[in-house]
Amino acid sequence: MTSDPVIITAAIVGAERSVEQCAALPITPEQLVDAAVESVEAGASIIHLHVRDEDGQPSQRVDIFSKVTDLIRQRCDAIIQYSTGGAVGTTTQDRIAPLVLAPEMGTLSLGTLNFGEDIFENGHDTIIEIAQGLRLNNVVPEVEIFDLGMMETLERYLAQELIPKKFHVDFVLGVPGGLSGTIENLVTLVGRLPKGQSWSAAGLGRYELPLTLHALAMGGHVRVGLEDNIYYRKGELAKSNAQLIERVVRIAKECDRPIATVEQARQMLLA
């Protein structure tokens, strides 16, 4: 087991959940900022950011991303990573619009998949347009891998120089329609990575905790938060994003994995 610092990403809100499902879900800009600050104080280095509009609906509006980003930066230091996924059905143009704000990181999903009952569209042209938006604004990609076929795409696109050479990989497992969050699947995916490539694991729902444990043991990094999992344990809703992060910190320390500071995370992923 490695003793390298572990980077924790806080996925504080996504596009699918509602406050009716989880009262702790941050929706307004002020709630998002509070959740981000609490997450950093708990041990997160990266804030994976989605935003909502005035009606609480998922949005890629530049003004909202700008407001939330500015308020977070006023209150704490963190790597802010914009989601370019948006919500299912969001146009590619809208998905990349916030990148003009030049966040330090942004996501790049490498394939279309069934996302529950919906379709998360990431065809070739969409991937290339988002990759170009990241490159144009000097944003480091977090490549999101939902199944093994996307690893094949990553290898092919790297060989063809279609995506930036510097990137981080996040394995998002447990989406109905993608790879489930089994340990065997995580080991297979990590085994396909180039030597020395940084990676993290994000397990949805019941897969969050077991994938966290194994990512820590395998030398990887971890993403947790209410976007991925609204439960602390079976039948018990999480009280906050910070509560989920605090558990990772406790486990990591027992595994002799120190928690990366924001500056350490920058050196590891962005330098």
Query: What percentage of residues in the chain have a pLDDT greater than 90?
Result: 94
Per-position DSSP letters for 90-132, written without gaps between them? --HHHHHGGGGG--SEEEEE-S-EEETTEEE---HHHHHHHHH
Give a yes or no: residue 1 inside a domain. no
Burial class, 3, CB count within 10 angstroms (exposed 0-12 / middle 13-18 / buried 19+): exposed
pLDDT of residue 100: 98
Greater model confidence, 67 or 2:
67
Do the strands 231-233 and 236-237 form a parallel or antiparallel pair, or are they unpaired? Answer: antiparallel
**CA 152, CA 150: separation in Å to the nearest integer?**
5
Total of domains in the chain: 1
Give a yes or no: residue 20 inside a domain. yes
Give a yes or no: residue 247 inside a domain. yes
**CA 8, CA 11: separation in Å to the nearest integer?**
10
Give a yes or no: residue 3 inside a domain. no
List % helix, strand, coil for the chain (3-state, nearest 5).
Answer: 40, 20, 40
pTM comes to 0.96
The mean pLDDT value of the chain amounts to 96
106 forms beta bridges with: 82, 141
Written as six digits, the tokens of 160 are 């063809």
Give per-residue pLDDT as tens, 206-237: 999 999 999 999 999 999 999 999 999 999 99
Q: Which domain holds residue 244?
A: 8-269
pLDDT of residue 89: 84
Answer whether 130's CB lies under 8 Å from 96's CB. Answer: yes
Give per-residue pLDDT as tens, 105-137: 999 999 999 988 889 999 999 999 999 999 999
Residues shown for the chain = 271
pLDDT at 1 over 70: no
CB atoms within 10 A of CB 127: 21
CATH number, domain containing residue 120: 3.20.20.70
Burial class, 258, CB count within 10 angstroms (exposed 0-12 / middle 13-18 / buried 19+): middle
